[in-house]
Amino acid sequence: MALEIKKVGVIGAGQMGSGIAHVCALAGFPVALADIAEDRIKSGMAVIDGNMGRQVGSGKITNDERKKALSIITPATSLDKLGDCDLVIESAVEDEKVKRAIFTELCPHLRADALVASNTSSISITRLASISDRPEKFIGIHFMNPVPVMELVELIRGIATDDETFDTARTFVAKLGKIVAVSEDFPAFMVNRILLPMINEAVYTLYEGVGTVEAIDTAMRLGAHHPMGPLQLADFIGLDTCLSIMQVLYEGLADSKYRPCPLLVKYVEAGWLGRKTQRGFYDYRGEDPVPTR
Residues 64, 35: contact at Cβ < 8 Å?
no
Q: Which of 18, 91, 119, 121 is catalytic?
A: 121
Distances in whole angstroms, Cα of residue 211 to Cα of each of 203, 234, 260, 293: 10, 16, 19, 10
To the query of whether residue 183 is one of the catalytic residues in this protein, the response is no
To the query of whether residue 192 is one of the catalytic residues in this protein, the response is yes
Residues 164, 2: contact at Cβ < 8 Å?
yes
Report the C-alpha gap between 278 and 270 in whole angstroms.
Answer: 12
SS3 assignment for 14-48:
CHHHHHHHHHHHHCCCCEEEECCCHHHHHHHHHHH
Which residues make Cβ contacts (< 8 Å) with residue 54, sequence separation at least 6?
A: none
Q: Which of 94, 142, 200, 244 is catalytic?
A: 142
Classify residue 274 as left (phi > 0), alpha (psi -120 to 50) or beta.
left
To the query of whether residue 200 is one of the catalytic residues in this protein, the response is no
Q: Which of 154, 183, 200, 244 is catalytic?
A: 154
Which residues are catalytically annotated? Answer: 121, 142, 154, 192
